[in-house]
Structure 1
Amino acid sequence: MTHVQPIKAVGATGRRAHLSALDGLRGVSILGVLLFHTGHLSGGFLGVDLFFALSGYLITDLLLREIAATGSVSLVAFWGRRVRRLLPALAVVLVGVALVVWAVGQPDVVRTTLADGPWVQLNLVNWHLLAESASYWDRFGPDRVFEHLWSIAVEEQFYLVWPVLVLVVARWGGRGVAVVAASVSVVSLGLMIVLADPADPTRVYTGTDTRAFSLLLGAVVAAPPVQAALARAVGRAAGAVTALLAVGIGATWFLVDGVDSWWLFTGGLFAHSLAAALLIRLCAQAPSTPVAKVLAWRPLRWLGLISYSLYLWHWPVIVLLGPHLADQWSRTAVVCAVSIGLAALSKYLVEDPIRYRAGWARGWRGAVAFAGLMVGLAVLWVALPAPASTTIDLTKLG
């Protein structure tokens, strides 16, 4: 059996050691989403929940380490890092896909692309899509190239609000953060149960308020008191517990079927997110368990490292290339190859250079660049002419 490693003190820099298994979990998450969207894994959409829990854990861990090292959190610095990490790749996708769609896309696709783009830019596309009353489960088709970005919007909204709450409750330490995260998670679950519509659970599946628990349960297990309690509870059984969680999550991905699995929206998603959060923390605390070692497999880790751009690119590729490929497995192979290629180019030519090496992306020059990019994107949505809607003269029918 494997012992859970004791929680280590935070260093002066507030940084943590890199955890290869967590990169592997990202790889598993994006694989699930890819298989779901190409028609091979009915519950692969739950990879998004694993992403959410992982984001909640990593961001909260980062914030708590900064508080332990410096006594506070620099919100401006935090948001600046998030912008440098996420916006460049997103902007490339928005511009590139919009131009391709405008040049070769069907009129309906062009119209929805130009209508959805500004909301993606503002990180509000999940609420925009809900306002249009389009079902999530029926909506994924050939008409929209940006609809998958609802989950990115939810995460960005979390990044905007959660650091402020952590800073407010930091005086009570990790225990206060855990209590707040757990309490809001329960409220979020309650909202999901109350607002869920058996005919169409889209509102509760893509709404930020009803999905907050997926991120916040990850935040709960990032709090040191919770980590210590989990380490004591698991003890020598870390390997067995981690394996049980991994098998349970995997089985769920094979068994659920979207809207037909109603139990997901009355507590099932909450249970899945909790299991994901526990798995994440145990992989971090016990990296020598068999599950953690499998997740640290180099190809899976690499897939996790490009997972953000791969998520951004895969759905536009499916929409634009999918209709031209009749065979499902050929379609899957082409979509995966093209999407992975574009994601790799994005990581090595756009994301990493701007995130790690571009001095102009920091400080006042970074603020100017951010403002210029946002203005440029706003101009794009206005400058590209949308095709006129087709109208039918009802007086000529009959």
Structure 2
Amino acid sequence: MNQIRPAEAGPVTSGRKPHLPALDGLRGVAILGVLLFHTGRLPGGFLGVDLFFGLSGYLITDLLLREVEATGTVSPVAFWGRRIRRLLPALVTMLAGVTVVVWAVGPPDLVRTTLADGPWVQLNLVNWHLLAESAGYWDRFGSQRVFEHLWSIAVEEQFYLLWPPILLVIARSANRPESRVAVVAATASIGSLALMITLAGAGDPSRVYTGTDTRAFSLLLGAVVATGPVRAALARAAGRWAGPAAALLAAGLGISWALTDGTTSRWLFTGGLFAHSLAAALLVGLCVQAPRTGVAKALAWPPLRWVGLISYSLYLWHWPVFVLLSPELDGLPRTGAVLAVSLGLATLSKYLVEDPIRFRARWARGRRGLLAFTVVTAGLALLWVVLPAPAPVVVDITGL
């Protein structure tokens, strides 16, 4: 759900490609899968989140390793500043806008959950909050919450908080940092898989699907593929067969999205998600290493790239739109309406909020940027307190 352009990538060294058209296309495929899943059109479309995770793990690790290569170290503070400028404006706009709309016209139960979930979204801990509330991910067609889709944003943000300091320690202590990063990421991803298998039971799989510890492998496998030794090994292994290999991986992902169901496909939580994440990470790596393959060229199709470019805002807005859209619409009309409204809001967010602050707002950097961040954070926190929540329903049992 994130994208990195050369303009914000920091020092760029030869041999690395921080931005390629095919990666925008992969984002487009991922967000379309998620949208079709949430509108009931693609049973395995939720796996698009894993494709997002793999992309994020690859791109963030590539960015940090290029910084190590250029400077010999990593600046977590500078990295976090770039992430805040990239992610916070659109997120705050959506949170504030949706909260006010829900408070004004939403049913009491939805108002209560929105005001209760908001602070946890702001703290980037909403995935753990939802688990503590027993709000199952697979109950999306039951008791709906407008911010429940942001569990994946929380997982990514927690990764962004922890991964740069780890790379900083590796950069300062290892002679061959990229090899050490590959080993650490691979080892941690196997540990995350083992934890998922251990915790997966016969009941609701939400704990292992949305828990940061059990989903870390999706991001870490992307990180593994971003390291120099693995990229070199992938280039040697694929070689002239990069095109067929990319096509095979893309076909495997597509088949799994068409046939998988999150509640009945228990194999997902005993290794299936790991295999899917590995295939996604390898496909990302092949698109970078071999941008002239048929798959990479197809992913660079301009309309698909454009969807990928607005994918972050599209992900933010699509679920609130689905929840709040008139329930009188159903079937294909509702799917079309959700797509149309979400695309419109995401486009406005991209060109009126995200890009101006990210690329042109000088006040968003340095001390003024820190001040703006503090004011916006305090204002958003105040929103959850100022808006009154409806009183809970009280059932009088004295007359029973």
Same fold (TM over 0.5): yes
**1:62-112 deviation line (CA, Å, top 9, x unaligned):** 000011011111111100000000000000000000000000000000000
**Hey, what does 1:245 align to over in structure 2?**
249
State the alpha-carbon separation in 2 of the partners of residues 290 and 133 from structure 1: 44
Q: Are 2:382 and 1:391 aligned?
A: no
Q: Distance in 1 between matches of 2:198 and 2:342?
A: 38
Conserved 8 A contact 2:22-2:305: yes
After superposition, residues 1-398 of structure 1 pair within 5 angstroms as 11-12=12-13, 16=17, 18-141=19-142, 143-170=144-171, 171=174, 172-325=176-329, 327-397=330-400
Deviations 1:284-314 (A, max 9, x none): 1101000000000000000000000000000
8 Å CA contact retained: 2:17, 2:288: no
Indicate if the aligned counterparts of 1:54 and 1:280 stay in contact, CA closer than 8 A.
yes
Q: Give 2:6's aligned residue.
A: none
Distance 2:184 2:98 in 1: 40
How far apart are residue 115 of structure 1 and its match? 0.2
Partner of 1:3: none
292-301 vs 64-73, which deviates more? 64-73
Partner of 1:221: helix, strand, or coil? helix
Paired with 1:233 and 1:32, the residues of 2 have a C-alpha distance of: 29
2:37–2:46 contact (8 Å) kept in structure 1: yes
Structure 2 unpaired stretches of 5+: 1-10
Counterpart amino acid of residue 113 in structure 1: T
Give the 3-state SS of the residue equivalent to 2:325 in structure 1.
Answer: helix
Report the CA distance between 1:18 and its aligned residue.
2.5
Q: CA deviation at 1:15?
A: 7.2
Q: Letter of the aligned partner of 1:375 in structure 2?
A: A
CA offsets per residue over residues 219-257 of structure 1, 9 Å max, x none?
A: 000000000011111111000000000000000001111
Q: Distance in 2 between matches of 1:238 and 1:195?
A: 37
Q: Provide the rounded CA distance (Å) in 2 between the counterparts of 1:188 and 1:152.
A: 18
- Deviation, 1:394, is 1.4
TM-score if structure 2 supplies the norm length? Answer: 0.95
Q: SS where residue 237 of structure 2 aligns? A: helix
Residue identity matched to 1:91 = V
**Whole-Å Cα distance in 2 between the matches of residues 13 and 308 of structure 1?**
28
- Which letter does structure 1 place at the counterpart of 2:393? T
CA distance in 1: counterparts of 2:227 and 2:287, whole angstroms: 15
- Paired residue type of 1:347: K
- CA offset digits 1:148-197 (Å, max 9, x no partner): 00000000000000111111112332100000000000000000000112
Instruction: Give the partner amino acid of 2:385.
Output: V
Q: Tell me which amino acid in the other structure corresponds to 1:393.
A: D
* Structure 1 pair 333–229 and aligned structure 2 pair: CA distance change class (3 A): same
- Cα distance in 2 for residues equivalent to 1:19 and 1:198: 41
The alpha carbon displacement at 1:139 in A equals 4.0
The 3 A distance-change label for structure 1 pair 110 and 14 is farther
1: distance between equivalents of 2:70 and 2:269? 40
In the other structure, the counterpart of 1:5 is none
Matched residues in 1 for 2:326 and 2:300: separation?
32
Could you tell me how far apart the structure 1 residues matched to 2:182 and 2:13 are? 23
- CA-atom RMSD, angstroms? 1.3
Residues 150 and 140 of structure 1, relative CA distance in 2, 3 Å threshold: farther
Runs of 4+ in structure 1 off by over 2 angstroms are 10-18, 139-143
Deviations 1:261-282 (A, max 9, x none): 0000000000000000000000
Can you list the C-alpha shifts for 1:130-160, whole angstroms capped at 9, x where unaligned? 0012221114445310000000000000000
Name the CA distance, whole Å, in 1 between partners of 2:15 and 2:75. 13
| Separation (CA, whole Å) in 2 of partners of 1:361 and 1:35 | 35
Kept in 2, the 8 Å contact 1:141–1:319? The answer is no
Cα offsets for 1:308-350 (capped at 9, x unmatched): 000000000000004131x310001111000000000000000
Q: Number of residues paired by the alignment?
A: 387
Alignment deviations for residues 38-57 of structure 1 (CA, whole Å, 9 cap, x no partner): 00000000000000000000
SS of match in other structure, 1:396: coil
Alpha-carbon distance in 2 for matches of 1:353, 1:315:
25
Which residue is equivalent to 1:4? Answer: none
AA aligned to 2:309 is L
State the TM-score, normalizing by the size of structure 1: 0.95
Instruction: In structure 1, list runs of 5 or more residues that go unmatched.
Output: 1-9
Q: Which amino acid aligns with 1:134?
A: A
Is the contact between residue 14 and residue 68 of structure 1 (CA under 8 Å) also seen in structure 2? Answer: no
What one-letter code is carried by the residue in structure 1 that aligns with 2:45?
G
Q: 1:136 to 1:12 in 2, by over 3 A?
A: closer
**What amino acid is the match of 2:303?**
P
CA distance in 2, matches of 1:339, 1:62: 30
Shift of 1:14: 9.8
SS at match of 1:312: helix
